[in-house]
Each structure stands twice: as C-alpha cells, then as structure tokens.
Amino acid sequence: MQTVQSRDGTPIAYEHTGHGPVVILVVGALCTRTTAGAQDLARRLAAAFTVITYDRRGRGDSGDTTPYSVHREVEDLVALVDAAGGPAHLYGHSSGGALVLEAVQAIGERLGRLAVYEVPYDDDRTGLPDWQRYLADLEPLLAGGRRGDAVARFMQQVGTPAEQIDGMRRAPFWAALEALAPTLAYDHAFLMGPERAVPVARVAHVAHRTLLLSGGASFGFMRDTALALARAMPNASAVVLPGQTHDVDAAVLAPVLTDFFTGA
C-alpha cells in the first residue's frame, strides 16, 4: 500500500499492479480498494495495464477531512493521476462512475478514456419521492451515530429483502460496512444529489472517448441513463452487457474494458 496526499492534506491510500497504460478503478457505495469485485477486476486488467485501486476518502486506509465536498473527491483523483506520472484511463462503477464524470475537467489533458458502469442517475420522476425519502432517512441516522441502521436503510433502498438484511447484520463483515456508512451521504446526498437527474448539461462538454455500460439483467433505468448520457456526450457510446446485473462479473467486464482502453 502507498499513499498520496490530496490537495487538502487528506492521505489517499492506493495500490498498483501490472504494467502498461494506467487505469484507475473508482469504486461505488460501501466499497474499498480491497472489495472482492475491485480486486478481481484489477487482477484481470493487470495483464495489459498498470491498474491503480484506491480507497476513496472516508474509506479503508484513506483519511477524511470535513466538511465533505465533491470537489475534494475530484482532487483525490487528480492526486492519483499526478502520482501515476502521466495520462490515465478511468473506470468507475455506480457512484464511482458519477465521480469519474465530475473529474474530467480537473484532470484535463492527462485524462485518457472513460468507462463507467451503471451510474445510478434517473430521469424517471416517478421514483424521485422514494429517493428523497431515502436521503431524508439517511441524514438523521448518520447524525445519530446509527451506522448499522444507515447501512440497512441503503440495503432496503436497493431492494435487498428484509430477512437478508437481518442475516447480514449478524455476519462478521457487517462491522466493515458500518465503518463505511458515512460515505453513503458522500455518494448519494452530495454526489448524486436530491434530484438524481441525468446531468446532461454538465457532461455535454466531455469530449473524451467514453464507454457507458449497463447490464441486460439490471434495473431498466440504468440502461436508459446510459443512453441519455451517450446522447449528451459528443464522443460516447452505450453498450449493454447481456445477463449482467448491477454487480457486474469481472470476467465479463475485463475484456470489454481492455478492448476499449487499447482500441483505436
């Protein structure tokens, strides 16, 4: 493990593996650089790339500095690109994909290609009240130190059955999820925002080659979001991975990313 200091002084923990062009993996909610999916993807990409996995601020071995802001998380990515010493491709999963899209302008000419998997923006306003209820519930739970209840509320929001949540709360790994609970607000209240709408105006300036991925067995709005982003961006394409859910299989994803990041 190594650390790099972000602009505000926060230490950001990262690892790198492999050789070749740099790819930085940006994880989603309740994940760290050591999450199994991130580790599996890094291992599969390392044959062709130098792969950087890192703990987003407030997670794992990285520090945290209050108050949180999206701008500070963008600066973390800038610091990692600086540490890599040159251009870097970015891959972001879920809310990590939202962060990737926010970081484009700050990284500038040192940015290679972008790939994101199922950024959970949603232009369907019928689901907006449910999203806003989740955010309203999350704030007092975190403020009151009820981290386990905050994680459970997130699990409920994404459709995890109640009995499964109860079982997870008794599992050894639950304590690690509780430690990550404050970052749910970072991802959802601040990064995604109370409206959660596809940020077509903000991404319209992104001219980098971008691959917008979604799963054929995932939530329908994820595919709609990928298409909406692709329409708004001048050099983007949307691709559906058949049979994949939001928890995408690294064995399926890695060849797609390899082809995209090495292609003409």
CATH number of the CATH domain containing 96: 3.40.50.1820
Whole domain around residue 150: which residue ranges? 125-191
Task: Provide the pLDDT for residue 264.
Answer: 67
Does 37 share its domain with 112? yes
Q: In the numeric block, which tokens belong to residue 90?
A: 């970015």
Q: Measure the CA–CA gap between 249 and 247, rounded to whole angstroms.
A: 7
Of 169, 191, 213, the residue at which a domain comes to its end is 191
Does 214 share its domain with 110? yes
Q: What is the pTM of this model?
A: 0.95
238: three-class secondary structure by DSSP: strand
Task: Provide the pLDDT for residue 246.
Answer: 96
Does 82 share its domain with 129? no
| DSSP-assigned beta bridge partners for residue 4 | 12
Pairing mode of beta strands 210-215, 88-93: unpaired
Does 16 share its domain with 96? yes
Does 7 share its domain with 137? no
Does 141 share its domain with 238? no
Does 162 share its domain with 246? no
Positive or negative, the CA dihedral 6, 12, 16, 22 is: negative
Burial, 86: exposed, middle or buried (Cβ in 10 Å; 0-12, 13-18, 19+)?
A: exposed
How would you write the pLDDT of the chain (264 residues) with one tens digit per residue?
A: 999 999 999 999 999 999 999 999 999 999 999 999 999 999 999 999 999 999 999 999 999 999 999 999 999 999 999 999 879 999 999 999 999 999 999 999 899 999 999 999 999 999 899 999 999 999 999 999 999 999 999 999 999 999 999 999 999 999 999 999 999 999 999 999 999 999 999 999 999 999 999 999 999 999 999 999 999 999 999 999 999 999 999 999 999 999 999 986
Of 191, 225, 249, the residue at which a domain comes to its end is 191
Task: Provide the pLDDT for residue 11.
Answer: 98
Nearest to 257 by CA among 40, 12, 33: 40
Q: In the numeric block, which tokens belong to residue 201?
A: 């105006």
